[in-house]
Structure 1
Amino acid sequence: MEPVTAPPLSPTDRSRVRRHRDRQRGDRAELHAVLDEALVAHLGLVVDGEPVVLPTLHARVGEVLYLHGSSGAASLRGGEPVCVTVTLLDGLVYARRWFTHSANYRSAVVRGHARRVTDPDEHLAALRSLVAAVAPGQEEYAAAPSRKELAATAVVAVDLDEASVKVRTGPPGDGDAVAEGDGRWAGVVALETRVAGVTTCPALPAGTPVPGHVPAVGDAL
């Protein structure tokens, strides 16, 4: 049986990159990689006529993006048009001119309609994926939600039918200034997300071991 290959990204007019079009990516695998690596997504929508952008946890399962929320939040009732964005900051670009200072990044924008997840099996599977996306291994180690906890936790889904990816890499874009020979430094300060420390909950008995799936200090997330 031949493996199923996801179609390439085909941005619509509203999701097509307009500034620095050369930075747009068309490989769906790059979209998956950005969504999977990012720890936080921002969900944009209109609530009661006012724009709202909410930071939230997310998890991708195939061509569906799941977003975590509270069942009491009117902003996550489902059915409304939404825009989800994630950004990974890879470096600060120090240029010779203010105008050409920049950043190296990978970003994704997903447009669509939010679907409230109501099927019990999908709801539980989505929550499991959300835990695994943020804390790999914890979905097996921690206790599954009770029926009351499930009722209090909303999940919405957005299909990855309309999405775009934009990437910047490399040095400053003012290389022509080198010829001027003014001696100013320029370059890239690389950035990455790493574990800065692991603290055991003070309510636990002394000596409770840290599970092996918990990242060690210095590990990249």
Structure 2
Amino acid sequence: MAVSSMTRSSLLVLTCVCFFTLFPPLILGDGANVVTDTNRTILLTTLAVAIANIILYPTTLAKNATSRPIRPLLTQVLDGLFIALISIPFLYFNFVCFGAPLLEKLDVTLSACVYVSCLAYMPIGILCGIDQEGIMKLLLHQAWRDDKEALAYTAFIGTHFGMWVGAIAVPLDWDRPWQPWPISSCIACTCVYASSALGWGVLSMTKWSPVHTHKAKSG
């Protein structure tokens, strides 16, 4: 049975509530325990994201809009976890290239990689599997088959943009407990992801859904 737009929106709101429930300790926490709090909070939030992804993204229809058979539910989940896992070294390399310490904060940098991999890459793995052509169509050509793929694309772009914007605060001399790497970046990418999720959830219930608009133009 297809997941209704209202159900998708409810899950998106639930995901956002999880984010904003778990992240205040990073902002208000004791600076002396910032590393411990960062790892624990990011990993707990990652778990919430992974569970929400497993509930939200798998497709249970026998066939999709392109008449291509849908993969078994377990396969979709395992593909999502696999894509998230293999993205971690790529993310770590990119974080280091953009200024993150190579080994000094290895634990929190890896936590940030795991978090971003669940936010941005796991949904794509669930929807497209390891099909390189399908992933390229989703990311490069915006060939979305439904609102789930549109949301996954927005999450991918928004998460990376949020990480970059959040990193701007790291070198500034504000001396805030939420300022050290990777706290500000994780908070920023969370806010961008949550905003995009809520936006897509609302749009998917209206005639202004980008997927519906794209289909109408194609027709």
Structure whose residues are more often helix by fraction: 2
Structure whose residues are more often strand by fraction: 1
TM over 0.5: no
TM-score range, shorter chain: under 0.3
TM-score relative to the length of structure 1: 0.22
TM-score relative to the length of structure 2: 0.22
